[in-house]
C-alpha cells in the first residue's frame, strides 16, 4: 500500500492510520456487541453493534485522537497503529462476556520533555 498523507481539520494523518483506526473501531464495536448480545445475527444484534460503534467506538476514537492532536501540537509525528493480535483477543474474549480491549497505540516521534510527555499521555484521558 502506498503511503499517502492527508489533512483533516488541521490533523495530519495517512491512509495507513485511517485503516488502522477503522479496523480497531469495528473490532471494538464487534467485541462489545458479542459480549452484550452473543453472536445471534438479528436486528437486535445490529442495533447493539451500532450503539457500541457510537458509544464505545467513538470514545476509543476520541481518546486516540486526543493523544495524536496534542503530540502534533508539540511538533511531533504521531500516528495510530492497530495491534491485530489484541483486536482478535478482544473479539475472542467477548464470547466469555469479558472485554479486554487494547486495540493499539499512537506512536509518537519527536523531541519532547517529561512535562510534554505527561500532557500528551493525559490528553487521552481528558480527551481534549
Say how far apart CA 123 and CA 128 lie, in whole Å: 6
Cross-strand pairs, 12: 7
Q: pLDDT tens-digit profile of 90-110?
A: 999 999 999 999 999 999 999
Q: Which positions are catalytic?
A: 64
Chain centre distance of CA 3: 20
Mean pLDDT over all residues of the chain?
A: 89
Alpha carbon distance 123, 64 (integer Å): 9
Inter-helix orientation angle 58-73/15-37, to 10°: 150
Alpha-carbon span 62 to 67, nearest angstrom: 9
79: confidence class by pLDDT, cuts 50, 70, 90: very high
* The pLDDT value given to residue 110: 92
Model pLDDT, residue 114: 94
Amino acid at each position: 500500500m502506498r503511503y499517502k498523507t492527508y489533512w483533516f481539520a488541521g490533523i495530519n494523518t495517512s491512509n495507513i492510520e485511517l485503516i488502522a483506526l477503522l479496523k480497531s473501531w469495528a473490532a471494538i464495536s464487534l467485541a462489545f456487541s458479542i459480549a452484550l448480545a452473543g453472536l445471534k445475527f438479528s436486528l437486535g444484534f445490529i442495533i447493539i453493534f451500532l450503539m457500541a460503534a457510537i458509544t464505545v467506538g467513538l470514545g476509543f476514537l476520541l481518546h486516540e485522537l486526543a493523544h495524536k492532536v496534542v503530540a502534533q501540537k508539540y511538533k511531533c509525528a504521531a500516528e495510530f497503529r492497530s495491534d491485530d493480535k489484541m483486536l482478535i483477543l478482544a473479539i475472542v474474549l467477548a464470547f466469555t462476556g469479558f472485554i479486554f480491549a487494547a486495540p493499539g497505540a499512537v506512536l509518537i516521534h519527536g523531541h519532547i520533555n517529561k512535562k510534554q510527555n505527561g500532557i500528551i499521555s493525559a490528553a487521552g484521558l481528558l480527551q481534549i
